[in-house]
A and B are shown apart, each in its own frame.
Chain A
Amino acid sequence: MVNKIFITLLFFFTTITSAQAYTVRNSTRVLHINIAASALLSLGTFRIGRQNFEVGIYPDLLIGAGGIINIPNNLYATIAAGIIQNDLGFYGGFGIEFYKFWACNFRIEMGGVSSTKNYTSGHALLGLNVGF
C-alpha cells in the first residue's frame, strides 16, 4: 500500500509543470565575498565577486575564476576554471542562496572539482555570501 502511494505521488509530481519564477538570487551588490565550509567544517571556498563573476579559492584549493548563472527561485549554477596542484582544474556547482539578512545571504552549494590528471572530488558547501 505504501509503495502504491509512493509511486502515485512520484508520477503525479512528474506531471506538474514547473513553478513559475518569482525570485532570483541577489546579484545587485557591487562586491560580495563568499566564504563557506566543506568537509569536517574546513574552509571550502573563499571567493570575491562582483555580480555574476567570482574569483578566489574553490574547494580542494582550486584557485581560479568563474561565472554564476542565476536560476529562478534563488537557485544558481556556477562553473569555474583554474589551477589545482599545478594542474588545470574545473569546478561546477549548483546551489541556493536565500534569506537575506542585513548584507548576508546564506548559501548551500553542491559541486565537484576535476583536474586534467584524473582527479575528481565532490563537495557540499555551507556558507555566507556577504555583499557590499
Chain B
Amino acid sequence: MHHNGSTQSRLSPVCLRVAFLSFTIQVECLLIKEMKTITTLFFLLLFAFCLEAFADLKVGGNISSSTRGRTLPGYYLAIGSDQAGVSASSAGFQTSLGYASYYQFNAFGLFRPGTILGRKIEAGFGAGIYFYKLGYRETILDNAGTTKSSFAAGPSARVLWYFLGPAFMGIETMLGIRDLGLNLLLCYQDSTQFVLGLAF
C-alpha cells in the first residue's frame, strides 16, 4: 500500500522479492532442515507472489551499547517495506592483544504515522537478537588467550526521524530476555544503538 508524504525512493519490486526470498531461504535452512523441497518451493512461491513491493534500503553508521561504552562505530544496514523491515548491524575491532565482534539483527512491523517538527517519523516494533564474541590475552606470547561470547533475544523497537530528506537519525533498541525474575522488575539485557544514515 502506498502512503502519502514519503520522501524515500522505491526499489524495484524485483529487488524486494529477491531480498525476501533470500531471507526466507536462510530462515528455512536454519529452522527446518528436514523440510521437503516441494514444501519449501510452495512457500517460496507463496511468499514471492503475495507481496506488494515498496521497499527502501537504509545504510548508515551506529554506536551501540553492545560495545559496552567503547567508542566503536559500526555499520547499519536495513531493508523494508511500508509495513515491515529487517535491519542488521555490526561493529568490531582487532589488535595484537584482543578482538571483538558484535552483531545485531532486528525485524519490525513498521508504521509511518506522521511527522514531528515537519519531518517524517518511522516507528517499528518487533523482535531481535544480538551476539558478540570477544577475546583477549595478556601478552602476545599467550597463544590461547581468553574468549567470551554472549547471545540474547527479545522484543525490539525502532524510532527513526528523517530530519533532512533521505537522511535519518534514530534509535533501535532490543531488550534481551534472560532472567524472568529480573525481567519482571523491568531489567533486560538491552542492546541499543543510535543510528545515523541515509534511506534510498
Contacts and interface: CB of A to CB of B under 8 A. Distances in A.
Contacts of A110: 125, 155, 157, 173, 175
Contact of A122 (B109, B160, B174): B174
A65 to B, nearest CB: 11
Contacts of A122: 65, 173-175, 188, 190-192
B83 A18 contact: yes
A127 to B, nearest CB: 10
A90 B65 contact: no
Contact of B39 (A4, A69, A71): A4
Interface in B52-88: 63-65, 69-71, 83-84
A86 interface: no
Interface string A82-108: 000000001111100000000000000
Interface in A58-95: 67, 69-72, 75, 77-79, 90-94
A15 B50 contact: yes
Nearest to B33: A3
Interface residues of B, number: 52
Contact of A94 (B32, B83, B157): B157
Task: Using C-beta atoms within 8 Å of the partner chain, give the interface range for chain A.
Answer: 35 or more
B14 interface: no
Given A3-B35, A40-B186, A122-B65, A94 B158 contact: yes
A56 interface: no
Given A4-B32, A124-B188, A11 B47 contact: yes
Nearest to B40: A7
A121 B187 contact: no
B170 A118 contact: no
User: Which secondary structure characterizes the binding site on chain A?
Assistant: strand
B186 A124 contact: yes
A35 to B, nearest CB: 14
Nearest to B39: A4
Contacts of B90: none
A94 B109 CA distance: 12
Contacts of B125: 75, 94, 110
Contacts of B71: 118
Contact of B171 (A38, A40, A92): A92
A71 B123 contact: yes
B186 A79 contact: no
Nearest to A37: B186
B46 A11 contact: yes
11 contacts: A39-B186, A69-B121, A90-B169, A92-B173, A94-B157, A112-B171, A113-B192, A118-B63, A120-B194, A122-B173, A123-B190
Interface of B: 27-28, 31-32, 34-35, 39, 43, 46-47, 50, 63-65, 69-71, 83-84, 109, 111, 113-117, 121, 123-125, 155, 157-161, 169-175, 185-188, 190-194
Interface of A: 3-4, 6-7, 10-11, 14-15, 18, 37-41, 44, 67, 69-72, 75, 77-79, 90-94, 110-114, 118-126
